[in-house]
A and B are shown apart, each in its own frame.
Chain A
Amino acid sequence: MLLVLGKGGVGKTTIAAGLAALEAQTHGGAIFIEFGDGEAGKRSLSGVGRSVRHVVVRPIDAAQRAATPLFGSATVAKIVLGNFAIKPLIAVAPAIRELAMLEVVRQVAADNPGTRVIVDMPATGHSVAWLRVPTQGRDFLGSGPLFELCDRIRRDLLSPGRASIIVVSLPERLVIEETLELCAAIVRDTGLAVDRIAVNRVPVALPPEALADARALAGSGGPLARSAADLASVLEAREAQRAEAVAALDSLAGKEHTVWHVPLAPSDPTAKDVARWLLAEGAP
């Protein structure tokens, strides 16, 4: 199982879908699990074909699906979860939903032994809270069926032999810092190790002499000086961004995480594009 984590807007779904496409290419099939409405995954996976099975887990369905084995039947689960007091409790109690969604992931993985499951996890901040829920639940409950469910998720889903964690980041100093904090939190709070950091949107290099040339032309005082100065300032900004990216990536070099670089694309890359780039980076 591959759990793909990262803060909002870093391109987590694209990378996760790319990993699923790559897995399908190299091993003939993969399951891609997405939480929510499934639109983002569908978009990324367009053109990949049937070798990637796209499973969408909606919070409402997840609670009932996870509770069914607990209560022994879907009907009883439905009655309990539909109870006038339980229903609003679940509506505002995300820990229950999160536990249910993790249980559904566990069920999907258990039903498909031998197939790699790639999970596009919800954006962090909350992701580590997500992964902590089964441990918190287990420590807190002490016994009973719900305790066993938490324990089962920990054992079958959130244990080092079962799940690999991939954190998606961006080549910006503070984002990388947050990523490293997230990695530390994952290790501390879940006992899982982070296997890879995928740094998305690494800026492409421009011809190195362009900036010096533009500066020279800007200093020439000719009719093009002003425009050349504008170009120079754009190139400087790009250079600064690229330098920041390189420094940010270097800051990862001393760490034990393997890093994949995914280039910055001017328009939306597809899962196939990402699979190609990841393959070039030595994935999976």
Chain B
Amino acid sequence: MSKTDPLVIVCAGGGGVGKTTTSAALAVALARNGRSTLIVTIDPARRLAGAMGVDITDEVTRVAVPEAGSRLCALMPDPRRSLHTFAEQLFEHEPVAKARLLSNKLYIGLADAAAGVHELVAMNLVARAAERGSFDVVVIDTAPSRHAVDFVTLPGRLAALLGGRTVTWLSGLAERTSGGASGSSGLIGWGAGHVENLLAKVTGPVLVRDTGDLFRDLAVVRDRFVALTQHAATLLLGPRAAYLLVTAPTAAGRDDVLYLHKRLEKLGPGSRAVVMNRADTHAASYARALRGQPGVSAAMASAMTIIEDERAARSSAADALSAELRARIPGLPTVRLPFIEASAPERVVAALSRELEPYIHTLLPAAAAER
């Protein structure tokens, strides 16, 4: 790699906290600030993709946003295509092995249900985009789950699975069990043979055969896999990455943000800041100006009361959460964003991006300051 890797901002958070919208808003704010930015949405929220005029594909697409010039691009890979993309990434030059993998029912069954495979595929696409493009910042919107951040360790776990004796053992399983005798000697050999036979008995010959085939094919591409994922792992876990905890003042939001903070400390990268959505700090100025004035109808007053009560409930929950976060995670900055009263997603993104602009330096990885 001759040039510097982009800065990476990973937005993590539980479901329903406005993470996808916030990630998009942050990307817009960065692009408007002169940084060439790539927004990567791992969870395919079609609403947002539609609003930004982006297709859900494996291709990097330019996003037209006012004042951002041509600095904003988006990558929103379709999770339903991950299986194929992953096979393509692994077996680029081996069409026969690729076809065999894609027809292996075990691979399809495993990878279809595998939450991490899509993330891994997306990260490999990010790494490729980072190598080709000239992005200053990549903003990654993770899937809406508190476990979503675990994908950062998946390259390592898969590499461990594909490496060494595990894969040798699994790929030879079919031959060893079809013959009936384990053929090994000694206590350890007996133990392994016993496990093999038990496993073959329980799962049946088809699964054993497909497991063998799958791992024989994967063993061949192990080096390529490691090379492929190494860059993704560097981008995610290196010093140029920062993790933002996106939350909202709800009980679930609170639990998720505390969990994710702990989890990210454990996984290594730690967290950079909390972004709290729906966390208005004060009543809307129009409400203060209109309250009790002549000319304000009863219907208007009653509508304002309903809106104000909702805001007050959000604000006090946000105050309580901010205070708790300050006490439990001292030193972690919290950026509070107001609830945006708009229905079109692009308007919410635009409004939030304005709110985020003053905090860009708080949210960028610390490495951004080094030059």
| Chain A interface residues toward B at CB < 8 A | 7-11, 13, 39-40, 43, 70-71, 76, 79-80, 83-86, 88-89, 91-95, 98, 123, 125-126, 129-130, 132-133, 136-137, 140-147, 172, 174-175, 178, 204, 206-210, 213-214, 217, 220, 222, 224, 226-228, 230-231, 233-235, 237-238, 240-241, 244, 266-268
In the complex the two chains form, is A244's CB within 8 Å of B158's CB? no
Q: Please, could you name 15 A-B residue pairs with CB atoms under 8 Å apart, sorted by A? A: A80-B199, A85-B165, A94-B110, A95-B112, A98-B113, A125-B43, A133-B109, A136-B109, A206-B307, A207-B300, A210-B303, A228-B296, A231-B304, A237-B342, A244-B343
A76 to B202, CA, bound (A): 12
Known: A129-B113, A227-B290. A10 touches B158 (CB 8 A): no
What is the minimal beta-carbon distance from B322 to any residue of chain A, in angstroms? 16
In the complex the two chains form, is A145's CB within 8 Å of B289's CB? no
Known: A80-B199, A144-B201. A8 touches B299 (CB 8 A): no
List B contacts of A91 (CB < 8 A): 157, 161
In the complex the two chains form, is A237's CB within 8 Å of B169's CB? no
In the complex the two chains form, is B201's CB within 8 Å of A137's CB? no
In the complex the two chains form, is B47's CB within 8 Å of A84's CB? no
In the complex the two chains form, is B157's CB within 8 Å of A145's CB? no
In the complex the two chains form, is B314's CB within 8 Å of A266's CB? yes
- Identify which of B201, B284, B304, B313 contacts A145 (C-beta below 8 A): B201
What is the minimal beta-carbon distance from A261 to any residue of chain B, in angstroms? 18
Known: A133-B109, A231-B304. A89 touches B170 (CB 8 A): yes
B114 CB-CB contact with A under 8 Å: yes
Known: A92-B158, A144-B202, A227-B286. A217 touches B207 (CB 8 A): no
In the complex the two chains form, is A231's CB within 8 Å of B314's CB? no
A92 to B116, CA, bound (A): 8
List B contacts of A268 (CB < 8 A): 250-252
B227 CB-CB contact with A under 8 Å: no
Which residues of B in the span 147-195 have a Cβ within 8 Å of any Cβ on A?
Answer: 154, 157-158, 160-161, 165-166, 169-170, 191-192, 195
- Identify which of A9, A126, A142, A204 contacts B306 (C-beta below 8 A): A204
- Identify which of B114, B144, B251, B255 contacts A92 (C-beta below 8 A): B114
Known: A8-B16, A213-B299, A238-B341. A80 touches B110 (CB 8 A): no
B16 nearest CB neighbor, chain A only: A9
List B contacts of A84 (CB < 8 A): 165-166, 169
In the complex the two chains form, is A8's CB within 8 Å of B46's CB? no
- Identify which of B16, B202, B344 contacts A70 (C-beta below 8 A): B202
In the complex the two chains form, is A224's CB within 8 Å of B290's CB? yes
In the complex the two chains form, is A146's CB within 8 Å of B302's CB? no
A146 to B205, CA, bound (A): 11
B356 CB-CB contact with A under 8 Å: no
What is the minimal beta-carbon distance from B177 to any residue of chain A, in angstroms? 12
List A contacts of B216 (CB < 8 A): none
A226 to B47, CA, bound (A): 32
B330 CB-CB contact with A under 8 Å: no
In the complex the two chains form, is A92's CB within 8 Å of B202's CB? no
In the complex the two chains form, is B50's CB within 8 Å of A241's CB? no
Q: B interface, by DSSP: helix, strand, loop or mixed?
A: helix
In the complex the two chains form, is A237's CB within 8 Å of B306's CB? no
List A contacts of B74 (CB < 8 A): none
Known: A141-B206, A146-B204, A268-B251. A220 touches B295 (CB 8 A): yes
- Identify which of B115, B170, B210, B286 contacts A85 (C-beta below 8 A): B170
B198 CB-CB contact with A under 8 Å: yes
What is the minimal beta-carbon distance from A201 to any residue of chain B, in angstroms? 9
Q: A interface, by DSSP: helix, strand, loop or mixed?
A: helix
List B contacts of A76 (CB < 8 A): 198
Closest 5 CB pairs of A and B: A9-B15, A9-B16, A144-B204, A8-B15, A8-B144
A14 to B343, CA, bound (A): 24
List A contacts of B205 (CB < 8 A): 144
Known: A39-B255, A84-B169. A95 touches B110 (CB 8 A): yes
In the complex the two chains form, is B299's CB within 8 Å of A80's CB? no
B17 CB-CB contact with A under 8 Å: yes
In the complex the two chains form, is B296's CB within 8 Å of A224's CB? yes
B79 CB-CB contact with A under 8 Å: yes
In the complex the two chains form, is B251's CB within 8 Å of A174's CB? no
Known: A93-B110, A210-B303, A266-B310. A43 touches B115 (CB 8 A): no
List A contacts of B116 (CB < 8 A): 92
In the complex the two chains form, is A140's CB within 8 Å of B206's CB? yes
List B contacts of A133 (CB < 8 A): 109, 113
Known: A88-B161, A213-B300. A95 touches B113 (CB 8 A): yes
B287 CB-CB contact with A under 8 Å: yes
B317 CB-CB contact with A under 8 Å: yes
What is the minimal beta-carbon distance from A282 to any residue of chain B, in angstroms? 26
B70 CB-CB contact with A under 8 Å: no
B2 CB-CB contact with A under 8 Å: no
In the complex the two chains form, is A71's CB within 8 Å of B198's CB? yes
In the complex the two chains form, is B46's CB within 8 Å of A178's CB? yes
A172 to B287, CA, bound (A): 27
What is the minimal beta-carbon distance from B44 to any residue of chain A, in angstroms? 8
A137 to B298, CA, bound (A): 63
